Structure 1
Amino acid sequence: MSLENISSNKLFGGWHKQYTHDSQILNCNMRFAIYLPPESQHKTVPVLYWLSGLTCTDENFMQKSGVQRVASELGIAIVAPDTSPRGDHVPDDPDSAYDFGLGAGFYVNATQQPWRQHYQMYDYVVSELPELIEHNFPVNDKRSIAGHSMGGHGALVIALRNPDRYSSVSAFSPICNPVNAPWGQKAFMGYLGNDREQWKNYDACELLKTSSQAIPALVDQGSSDAFLHEQLHLDALKKAVADTGYPMTIRMQAHYDHSYYFIATFIEDHIRFHSENMGPV
C-alpha cells in the first residue's frame, strides 16, 4: 500500500503530518492527517480517530480545534481522514450540492450506482485506515472514535456497530437520527437506495435499540445550533438512550452553535474522556 508524506509540522513537542495513499477500498488516492505526540518517539500510544462533517477535509479539525495541545499532554495520537473519496474520476452530486457526493460520504458503504465503486467510507474508517495506521505508525490497539455533525453520526454508528474495536466514542452536534433528517434522507436514498430498512444500519437511534454491548459515550450539542431541530434530532437520541439505558452522557451547551468555536471550547473535555477510557499510555 503506497504511503507518501506530503507535509510535516512540529507542535507541542509532537508532529502533525499529512499523508496520501492509494485506497483499495475506495479505489482512489486518499489523504489523511495524523498527530503524533512526543511519547510516540519512544513507545506506542493509543489513537483517536476523528471524523469531520460536511464539506470538510482532514485539515479542518487539525487546524481549527487546538486538539494537539491536550493530545500532546496525554500522549494520544489523533488521526483525521477525509470525509469522502476524491479524484476527477470519483462521482459528485450532479448539482455540486454540499450535502452529497464529494465531501459528504456519510461514512456508509454505498450500494447504488454510480456511488458504490468509491463511496465505501464505512469500511475505510473501520478497516483499511486503522490497518494502515497500525502498520506504519507507533500506535497500539487502544482506539477511540469521535466526530462532528456528519462525522458525529459516523462515529456513533461505527462505535455502536463495532463496540469491541473502540474504548469510547464521542460526538459534537451529531446527526443523531438521519433516517428522519433531510441531510440523512438525501444521502441514504442516493447511496443506499429506497430500502429504508438498510438505512437503519447507519442510524444511531435505530442501532441503540438492538445494542447488546456498550462503551462509554459523550455527546455535546450547542443550544444555538441552527441545524439542531431540522437536521440533528438530539431529542430522538435522548429518548433512545433513556429507553435503552445506554451509558451515554448528553450535554446541552448554552448559546454555542455548530462551528469550530464550539469544538475548540470543549475538545479538551472529549480528549480527557477518551484518555480515561483508553487507560494509561
Structure 2
Amino acid sequence: MSNWEPLSVRRGIRPPRGLEEGVPPHLVPALEYWVQGIFGYRSTDGMRKGVILNAALAVRTPISNSTSGTSMMESLLSQCRRNADLFLDLLDYLLSTPLGNFDCQSLENSLRTGGSAWTAVKDAGLQRRVDSTAQQSYESATLPADQASGELRQAWDRAFSRSADASDAWDHAIKAVEAVLIPVVVPKQEKAQLGHVIGSLRSQGDRWSFILPGAKMDHSVDPLLAMLDALWPNPDRHATGTQRTPTLEEAQAAVHLSVSIVQWARTGSLILKEKK
C-alpha cells in the first residue's frame, strides 16, 4: 500500500488526511464506475437487470419500474449519491455475490487510494480498514483449516464489518484462544473453558515455559497470563452486577490480542517443561 501524501500536506499547507467514513464526492465517480461494471453497463452482454433488482431488494430501496436496465441502475445510483450509508450497503451487498467478488481488487484499489475507512474483502463485503501489519497477522493466523481459524474469522467479521457486534466478536475471540490452548494446557478437563486454562497456568506456572524471557529472564508464563486475564471474561458475560456490553474498540483490541495468542500457541511458544 502506498504511503504517498499530497505535496501540500508534506509542505504543511494542508492538514494530514484522515480516513473517510462515508462516501465523499471524490470517491463517488470511481465507486459508481465499479457498480456500473457489475451491473453490466459496459458489457457486450447487456445490462444485468436481475442483479439490479436483487441489489435494490437487498438494500431495501425502491427503484424505477422500467424495461431499461440503464434506467433501473440510474434510479438506484441516484439514491446512493444522496445517501452514503445506502451506497456503502450496496457495495457491501455486491461484494457478497460472485459477480462482485470477481472484481473485488478493483474496488479495493479505489477505496484505498481514495482514503476510505472501508476495505473490500472477497466473500466478506466491506470491513473496517486496519493497519496493514495487523491485517497480515490476521490473514496468517487464519490460514490453517481448523477451529481456531474459523472462530478468528467470525471474531474479525463481528469486530470490523459494517454489521459489527462487539460482544459477539469478543466471544469468538475467546473461543479461538480456547481452541488452541485447551488441548495443550487442560486436555483432560471436561467442558473446559479459558478460565480453566488460566487457573491451571496460574497454579502450575512452574511447569511451563513461555517463549518471551520476561523482565526476570526466566521465561515465566506471567506475561501470557496477563494477556489471558485481559481477554477473559467478556464483560458482557459477568454474572455479577458489573455486566456490561463492551465497546467496539475494546472488542477490536480483544480480537487483535487473540490473533497474537493463537499465533504463539501454534508455533509452540508455550512449552511444558520436562520433569526432573
TM bracket, shorter-chain basis: under 0.3
Q: Which has the larger share of strand?
A: 1
Whichever of the two has the greater Rg, that structure is: 2
Higher relative contact order (Cα pairs below 8 Å, separated by 6+ residues): 1
Could you state the TM-score of these two structures normalised by the residue count of structure 1? 0.23
Could you state the TM-score of these two structures normalised by the residue count of structure 2? 0.24
